[in-house]
Amino acid sequence: MALVPTTAPTDSQLIAEVDMGSDSSVMNVRATVVQASTIFYDTPATLDKAERLLAEAAGFGSQLVVFPEAFVGGYPRGSNFGVSIGNRTPKGKEEFRKYHASAIDVPGPEVDRLAAMAGKYRVHLVMGVIERDGYTLYCTVLFFDPQGRYLGKHRKVMPTALERIIWGFGDGSTIPVFETSIGKIGAAICWENRMPLLRTAMYAKGIEIYCAPTADSRDTWQASMTHIALEGGCFVLSANQFCRRKDYPPPPEYVFSGTEEELTPDSVVCAGGSAIISPSGTILAGPNYDGEALISADLDLGEIARAKFDFDVVGHYARPEVLSLVVRDHPTTPVTFTSTSTKVEDSCKK
């Protein structure tokens, strides 16, 4: 897989580059969204694939690389985990055990490896993972800087439909926007991008490069991404997997519920649609529905100020005396031990 000019695209290669001029007061950032599939149930092999893709993007000068939702750990498309109202099958429980085994601890050795990759290739890395916290899983995005440091995470606050049977719910403590050398970066995952209050919280934190890892390849997704770019006055980087049936284990180990009989190994089960959009709503790169690709564009950060001059949703276009938002950004835990809290308070007094 390589990056080539859009004047000569191939079925599996794409880059859009925009001439941003020579104004030295404006920072330009080369960003890449990765459109590729997980190696399902094989996290070490998926990390190897991630490094190959990261190396290739860095070789073409990318400073920021964004991977799709659940790239490490996998998006269990088509699976119902044997669930019906009032019943869970033994096969479905075994599927969950295998899925749980493919997830990663945060922090953990896989996070250390991802951090090392970011440092090795000197890039800002945004990676979609399935996070394992005990026996609960979360759909999570991890952030790393070019010095090889893990910055933090965002847990999806609202899984969609059957995702709720396998993933927990993030809370307000993991809605970060990180101030970096290339701008303020944050992420929302898939359909939580449709949640206007979540978006508003991120705008209030000053997000400039809005990452949107997703599993939605429908045409309507592009409308949401363009709207967010215009609404937030920010760059939007949407990364989705491109998957064929053969990228998942074969039946009966893995079954696409309700559609398996219609699929061949080469059937496309997720068509991608990854794209990069400017604060003015201009599509800088993508959407690509052709195959695995590295989709890139040069971001002129001066576009943010030009867009905010027209519309600043949490600034001059806000009416806080009429409409306001309160975000509960503290961690929520089901159990609190008073002895632990007392020890923390005592140590602070010393």
Task: Tell me the whole-structure pTM to 2 decimals.
Answer: 0.89
User: Taken in order 74, 147, 17, 153, is the CA torsion positive or negative?
Assistant: positive
What is the per-residue pLDDT across 68-93, written as a single tens digit (0 to 9) for each?
A: 999 999 999 999 999 999 999 999 99
**Which pLDDT score is estimated for 20?**
41
Query: Residue 210 forms beta bridges with which residues?
Result: 186, 236
What is the per-residue pLDDT across 201-230, written as a single tens digit (0 to 9) for each?
A: 999 999 999 999 999 999 999 999 999 999
Integer Cα distance of 127 and 141 in angstroms: 5
**Which pLDDT score is estimated for 339?**
86
User: Are the CB atoms for 289 and 272 separated by under 8 Å?
Assistant: yes
Greatest C-alpha distance within the chain: 67
Would residue 253 be called left, alpha or beta, if left means φ above 0 and alpha means ψ between -120 and 50 degrees? Answer: alpha
Pick the CATH number of 28-310 from 3.20.20.70, 3.40.30.10, 3.60.110.10, 3.40.50.720: 3.60.110.10
Share of the chain above pLDDT 90, in %: 87
Catalytic annotation, residues: 69
Q: What is the mean pLDDT of residues 291-320?
A: 95
Q: Is the pLDDT of residue 21 over 50?
A: no
